[in-house]
Structure 1
Amino acid sequence: MARKSKSRDAPTVIHGKRADLKEIKNKMIRSKLYRDQAKARNTEEHKMRHERAKMESMDPSLKEERLANNVPDTLDSKRVFDESIDAEKEGTDEFDNYFSNDKMPKILLTTSKGARKEAYELKEELLDILPNSEFIKRGSKFSLKEIAKFCNNRAYTDIVVINEDKKLVNGITFIHLPEGPTMTFSLTSLRMPKQISGHGRSTNHIPELILNNFSTSMGVTVGRLFQSLFPKLPEFVGRQAVTLHNQRDYIFFRRHRYIFKNKDRVGLQELGPQFTLKLRKFQKGIYEEVEWEHKSGMDKEKRKFFL
């Protein structure tokens, strides 16, 4: 049995005849030839990388040119934006009343009916994160529309509802007042500060809000929802930042405290909590017309993103 050629795509030679590995019926021979081919390819590639590194060390421009011409494709670079929702332009949507004046947000925080321990633990964290917020325990007799009417009569700007199922927090609903919209998010990967190694303690300062990658018309609307929960003038002296990072329609929530160590370095300490949000439903008004809803079939198109 002759050994195969060193060429990457050269056919295997068996008993003086060329043959494709798929045509070899003996499993042991086929496996050995496959290993030989893989070893030869690795040896050749290693030699090529070594020679390329030697040339690039002598001429750095070669490396710059190679990197510029070999940008890998990713889901993010191939993303297809969904513009089926014709959200209004910034400054003319449901949040215009908040952004067009100096009104401070006033937030009522509550839970779904019959909430348990985990919802109340998250409630304490959200009270610490959202300035000018207060908690009212959810009664079993009142619907959210009735609660919204109560809040409108008392100058609240937003309602935040922690949703719980089977003793676990599984979502958050945001209602912007006085007339909506309502946005429902699923919540996963919840980690409280005590579960984060080396976490810090927050202060009473208004945090900075950082929004990343809210690019589509729907994404801009979702970003303005989060902006409306925080006063427009953060207290930078507190060195606290709340980050909402959108990646492939998953919104990652993080909170940090930072300090400038020198001109080029910034130290970060996570405060917590951590969780991930995904928009499930967008409704005009207060639990009224459904403008957009996430459906299971939407996940089949891996390159299409809505935020």
Structure 2
Amino acid sequence: MNYKFEETTDEKNGKYLIIKGCEDSCRQLVIPESDSNLVPVRIIGNHAFSSRDDLVEVAIPNSVHTILGFAFHNCGNLKKISLTDSVTEYLDGGTRQCESLEEIEVFLENGNNYIIRRILEDNDRRLTFRMHMPDGEALLVFPGFNYDFVENTMARTIQFAIEGTGYAYRECVKSDQIGFREYDNLFSKVSADDKGTAEMIAMARILAPYELSEDARIAYEKWLLEHALKSLTIAVDNAGTVSKGKAGTNTGANIGTFDDYLRDTEEHTAFYLERKLITKADARKLAHIAADRGITAIVSMLMDYAETDNDVEKSGDEGVTNRKDDNILELDF
């Protein structure tokens, strides 16, 4: 790759490089740790990769400690950024107006949450953070939010309100810790506000249950069970749109930030079936919907599930009562 560098020196870092851009077109940009002379890359420069439509993924090495202003600003197709917590300075606009950005993968080698908080502060869109820590992995979805400005004519002032739960979720991330319990306690609010994002949050926490309490797990599973038919109908409808005219050959498009966990609608459905988070009655209904869309692999999965001996097998403290009648499900709140 034909990178553009600027070499500089200071007392703290010695000789190092500021990367100013790349003259070649690329979908997956891997910023090098150093040049051919082993001079380390420490800084991503102002507007270094701004307004590029070719970038889809960016990997930033742990040699980088600073991302200057608008480094990736307005990269319309950028979906994922991978980096480490070596970044200790991130200036405004670094990832702003990246309308396709979905996932930030962070390797927390030093226990420094700074870069997580700064990227969240810089974006009001929904983002998923995959966090690799020495003792486990967390997958957290942060909802989006909007600022709404309202004129108070009586007081002759402009007031603003925050729409959505995204701001409250962002406040769970502090410089020295992430409040996982605080994060989980917000679920009742987002589930009333945005059911699509609520499903993503619940699935993510169950898939990577880092510091997930038993009470929170039960709450997430109850909600998924209650909304399983509606959620999976949306997934099947989306898959049907993708596979129109190709009956039985396409199980749907990737579902964004969960590509590594749930690569398509078949795996999305399997998430519910493997955890018994859908009743047999609802599975039969969904099978008919999938059959109408020509998604035969999902139809087979759902019918096999519906024909098993046991329905939902959650009871007692987990709040769901097992019933022999496939058409009746009692939730014990």
Which one scores higher on RCO, CA 8 angstroms, separation ≥ 6?
A: 1
In the superposition, the TM-score normalised over structure 1's length comes to 0.22
In the superposition, the TM-score normalised over structure 2's length comes to 0.21
Bigger Rg, structure 1 or 2:
1
Q: Which has the higher strand share?
A: 1
